[in-house]
Amino acid sequence: MSIVLDSPSTSCPDCGAILPAGSGALLCPVCVLLEDAEELPPLPSYTLLGEIARGGMGVVYRARQERLRRVVAVKILPGAAFSSQEFRQRFQREAETAASLNHPNIVAIHEIGELLGQPFIAMELVEGLSLGERLQRDRLTPEFSAHIIRQVARAVAHAHERGVIHRDLKPSNILLRDEMEPMLTDFGLARFTQTGHTLTRSAQSLGSPGYLPPERVGLHEGSPAMAEDVYGLGAVLYHCLTGRPPFVADSVAALLAATEMQEPVAPRLLNPSIPLDLQTICLRCLEKKPASRYASAQEVADELDRFLRGDSILARPVSTWARVFRRAQRQSVLAALSST
């Protein structure tokens, strides 16, 4: 899928959330959530105990499911009457997608419902920080990073086997049970490869720019969708190892341009303690051409398993000369574009 932004994305002046390009004076969806959070109707069979988190796709509460006497997480889309049809469709798709999966490293969905036009999802409550919150402290050790991404890769492989692509892998979508075991959540941008169901191609459906594969920006149109998640696994591994995403920039437009045209800085230049084999795995996932990455999430998991066992990995590092050649190729493309 090729996506072109008509104009640079802007930020909401009130909450700072990134707004879709060309959104003009439309209401910020996050601000709508904030305004309506206090007006929630009571949910049948649930007692809300307190807010856990909020974002562009909803507000998550700790809740008690009275009939089963268990504590769960409930995700609610407040102000549904003010939300666009697209917004509500994304919320419903997230629930349907995640509910079809059953894996120890994927957050389980218990119930999908709607009350007076108010959609909600009751799901497994994962006690602990998100990987994004954990990374705000400091970067992880190489071995712990490899463990986390190996488990997430196994969860992603499970989803792929059932025709589901996550499409928004990032640290905030990985919860850490007891700060050790990763749990993958938030399939709000997921796509079913077998049924052809897909979400809109607006700027809002881009995903998270810092972890976005280049084919979602415009390169390699028509590439296999599973390769997007392989790139996402590499991007999250890169962040775990170095303390930052593969590309950073001052604006969304500059970030997307870097994703499309630049090579990521080798992780060992940012953190010399990273083993060469782990860097090789990471950069293999981040190859610009989807066909040059690992063929599947399961291959990523298997490769990380070899690393953790101390066995030789299958991938070989890209030579310095090859990287210089790639950089020269992209510079020539940029020069040609700037002259037209």
Predicted confidence (pLDDT) per residue in 288-316, tens digit: 999 999 999 999 999 999 999 999 999 99
H or E stretch including 46? strand 46-55
Question: What's the half-sphere exposure (Cβ side, CA atoms, 13 Å) at 262?
Answer: 13
Q: What is the pLDDT of residue 195?
A: 54
Spatial distance between the Cα atoms of 76 and 74, rounded to a whole number of angstroms: 6
Q: Taking CA 155 as the corner, what is the angle to CA 217 and CA 57, rounded to the nearest 5 degrees?
A: 55
Q: What domains are there in the chain, each with its CATH number?
A: 26-123 (3.30.200.20), 131-323 (1.10.510.10)
Q: What is the pLDDT of residue 192?
A: 58
Which residues lie closer than 8 Å to 229 by C-beta, 6 or more apart? 156, 160, 165, 166, 167, 169, 297
Q: What is the pLDDT of residue 12?
A: 62
- Say if CB 6 and CB 23 are below 8 A apart: no
Cβ neighbours of 204 (radius 10 Å): 21
Q: What is the DSSP letter of 128?
A: S
- Say if CB 59 and CB 130 are below 8 A apart: no
Coil, strand or helix at 59: strand
Angle between helices 276-285 and 142-161 (to 10 degrees): 30
Spatial distance between the Cα atoms of 79 and 317, rounded to a whole number of angstroms: 50
- Say if CB 144 and CB 308 are below 8 A apart: no
Full 3-state SS string of 273-322? CCCHHHHHHHHHHCCCCHHHCCCCHHHHHHHHHHHHHCCCCCCCCCCHHH
Spatial distance between the Cα atoms of 226 and 52, rounded to a whole number of angstroms: 31
Which residue numbers are catalytic? 168
Coil, strand or helix at 113: strand
> Could you tell me which of 158, 145, 93 has the C-alpha nearest to residue 119?
93
Coil, strand or helix at 112: strand
Q: What is the pLDDT of residue 125?
A: 95
Which portions of the chain are predicted below pLDDT 70? 1-41, 56-57, 78-84, 87, 91, 117, 188-207, 218-224, 318-340
Q: What is the pLDDT of residue 153?
A: 98
- Say if CB 66 and CB 118 are below 8 A apart: no
**Using one digit for the tens of pLDDT, what is the confidence trace for 225-267?**
899 999 999 999 999 999 999 999 998 889 999 999 999 999 9
Q: What is the pLDDT of residue 202?
A: 43
Q: What is the pLDDT of residue 237?
A: 98
Q: What is the pLDDT of residue 129?
A: 92
